[in-house]
Amino acid sequence: MAVAALLALCHDILITVGVYAASGFEVTPATIIGVLTILGYSLYDTVVVFDKVRENTDGFETQTRSTYGELANLAVNQSLIRSINTSVVGVLPVASLLVVGAFILGAGTLRDIALTLFIGMIAGTVSSLFLATPLLVDLRSREPAVKEQAARVARARGERLAAAGDDPEALAATRRHARSRPRHPRTPSRKLRPAQEEEEAVMTISPALPKELTQLVLDNLREIPDFPEPGVLFRDITPLLSNGEAFANLIDGLAAHYRGHIDAVAGLESRGFILAAPLAVHLGIGMVIVRKAGKLPGPVLGIDYELEYGTARMELRPETVEEGSRVLVIDDVLATGGTAAASIDLLEQAGAKVESICMLLELAGLGGREKLSGRDIDSVVIFESA
């Protein structure tokens, strides 16, 4: 860190001296005072940014979520507004001194010191954010421990992406449409104020389901930015599942809504199983599992469908579907609708009548509802595009 800070300091001195020389002003004792002052200012601003870098990267070797460079970049983003505000507050009075000294009073001392401070403070802010930290990352990235951690992060991301393959088109769509400004994870059981709802996601309530279920899910939902990779906003339902009372209330509400209208529940791999099983038990009806290719022993009935890059396949055991039975299709997220559409076609090929589709979360604007046009879709929470 010291080397990067000193290099950034040299940059500030060169910029200040170069601009001062280009202005043609005489070097005076006031000029020297100004140069010495900006040395302290530049180092202070760099230390503030580096302190955030140190905080973010503390113990980074033990995790496989982000590399050292990514954590340092996050520190720069977190320090950006503070540094700009500090610079504006400092530069404005210095600019006033420069105008007064150079154009009104003609005071050489004020002019000399103000010009030096004006240029140096601006250069110091720029270097602390956009030069010192990249230099630090470049230097640290040469260390074996940092290289090894970056390699582990790359391997872990590959494994997480492979594990997320149960709904690849949803992951691809979330990557394309992730929020441009990340948000910190939301604490479970925290009620959202109307202003927060409007600011965060413009969340709407499905007219077919009780609004109490929507609020129940929102109160137990966590949002994790940059998971399982940068640019993806992951909505975590584990707080809902771990809250026994809330999870039971959700299943009770869904059971009350669908009671008497369905003969079976079809859960889509894999998080759809979590919702389908307790709902089927509550209603006293059977559960049909629809899985990715190769997960079920034969004989199976299967259907291929298109992804953004390539194809995927859904399969089921046809003997688990009763001819003419009214089936509810349930899953955790509706994004592009590819998996759901393929599963519905598969169920109907097996002889079922798909009565309705229930999604815990829906990402509107990704085409899922349009792909399932003409179907009865109940989404507990709908996230509109920001």
Nearest to 295 by CA among 171, 136, 166, 160: 166
3-state SS, 40-78, equals HHHHHHHHHHHHHHHHHHCCHHHCCCCCHHHHHHHHHHH
Tokens (6 digits) for 275: 């919702």
Among residues 271, 291, 315, 369, the one annotated as catalytic is: 271
Q: What sign results for the dihedral spanned by CA atoms 194, 361, 307, 356? A: negative
Number of continuous H segments (helices) and E segments (strands) in the chain: 14, 10
Give the DSSP H/E element, type plus range, for residue 204.
strand 203-204
Among residues 55, 199, 308, 370, the one annotated as catalytic is: 308
d(CA 253, CA 265): 15
Please, is 182 exposed, middle or buried when counting C-beta atoms within 10 Å of its C-beta (0-12, 13-18, 19+)? middle
Nearest to 208 by CA among 356, 48, 9: 356
Q: Is 308 a catalytic residue?
A: yes
Tokens (6 digits) for 257: 């809504």
d(CA 108, CA 131): 33
The CA–CA distances, whole Å, from 3 to 9, 35, 76, 293, 346 equal 10, 20, 18, 54, 63
106 — phi, psi (to 5°)? 70, 25
Q: Is 175 a catalytic residue?
A: no
Catalytic residues: 271, 308
